[in-house]
């Protein structure tokens, strides 16, 4: 799928890690009432909290997969130099966005960190720890909080064919992780990130108080 470059270039001064980020931002946010990722949390669009985290992280590039609200999300992504990937099949579920994101990555990318656009407090430290686990040999590195596996998750390039072959529906990569525990390294991110997500307006209001 063709990708459209945004303005930017802020990553040019960072040493390359060989790792890119894929942000899943294509859902309609029906439980929220629409427009979720553009809703403001602490005077900043929800998706921008994730972009800010990645701005300060060691990833080389950021790819944001959009569907619903594509125009508005593109406008927010442009100042961060992110690639915006339009997923025409977004209504078929999250798996199609993971697929679109991974297929947009260039041959130089050694691994991808997959994040959700509605988790504003993941934290730079969590991304750094996943990349460190990859550099130490992990094929799949999943953030854990309180011992429970959550997002984000890093996938080394060598597992992409297997992952792409098993993705389906609106459940993302979770079934893949459960089917292949031998590939997965849990990475504790307690204290460096928060996996809380936003599904409803009430969730957003609660996070305003954090």
Model confidence pLDDT, tens digit, residues 71-108: 899 999 999 999 999 999 999 999 999 999 999 999 99
In a domain, 11, yes or no: no
Is the pLDDT reported for residue 157 higher than 60? yes
Within a domain: 4: no
10 found inside a domain: no
Confidence of residue 13 (pLDDT cuts 50, 70, 90): low
CB contact at 8 A, 97 and 164: no
Average pLDDT value for the chain: 91
Whole-structure pTM value: 0.92
Contact present, 47 and 76 (Cβ < 8 Å): yes
| CATH of residue 79 | 3.90.550.10
pLDDT, one tens digit per residue, over 42-73 is 999 999 999 999 999 999 999 999 997 888 99
Q: Which domain holds residue 30?
A: 19-207
How many CB atoms neighbour CB 149 within 10 A?
17
Asked whether residue 13 is domain-assigned, the answer is: no
- The reported pLDDT for the residue numbered 165 is 95
14: in domain: no
The domain total for the chain is 1
Q: Stretch 125-141: mean pLDDT, rounded?
A: 98
Residue 1 lies in a domain: no
């Amino acid at each position: 799928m063709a990708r459209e470059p945004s303005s930017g270039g802020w990553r040019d001064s960072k040493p390359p890690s060989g790792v890119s980020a894929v942000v899943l931002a294509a859902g309609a946010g029906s439980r929220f009432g629409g427009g979720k990722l553009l809703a403001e949390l602490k005077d900043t669009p929800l998706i921008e909290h994730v972009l800010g985290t990645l701005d300060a992280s060691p990833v080389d590039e950021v790819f944001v997969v959009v569907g619903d609200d594509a125009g508005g999300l593109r406008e927010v992504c442009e100042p961060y130099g992110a690639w915006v990937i339009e997923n025409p099949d977004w209504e078929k579920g999250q798996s199609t966005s993971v697929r679109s994101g991974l297929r947009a990555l260039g041959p130089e990318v050694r691994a991808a960190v997959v994040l959700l656009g509605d988790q504003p407090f993941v934290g730079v430290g969590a991304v750094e720890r996943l990349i460190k686990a990859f550099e130490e040999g992990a094929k799949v590195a999943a953030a854990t909080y309180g011992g429970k596996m959550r997002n984000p998750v890093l996938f080394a390039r060598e597992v992409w064919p297997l992952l792409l072959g098993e993705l389906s529906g609106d459940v993302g990569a979770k079934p893949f992780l459960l089917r292949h525990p031998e590939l997965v390294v849990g990475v504790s991110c307690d204290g460096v990130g928060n996996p809380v997500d936003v599904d409803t307006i009430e969730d957003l209001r609660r996070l305003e108080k954090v």
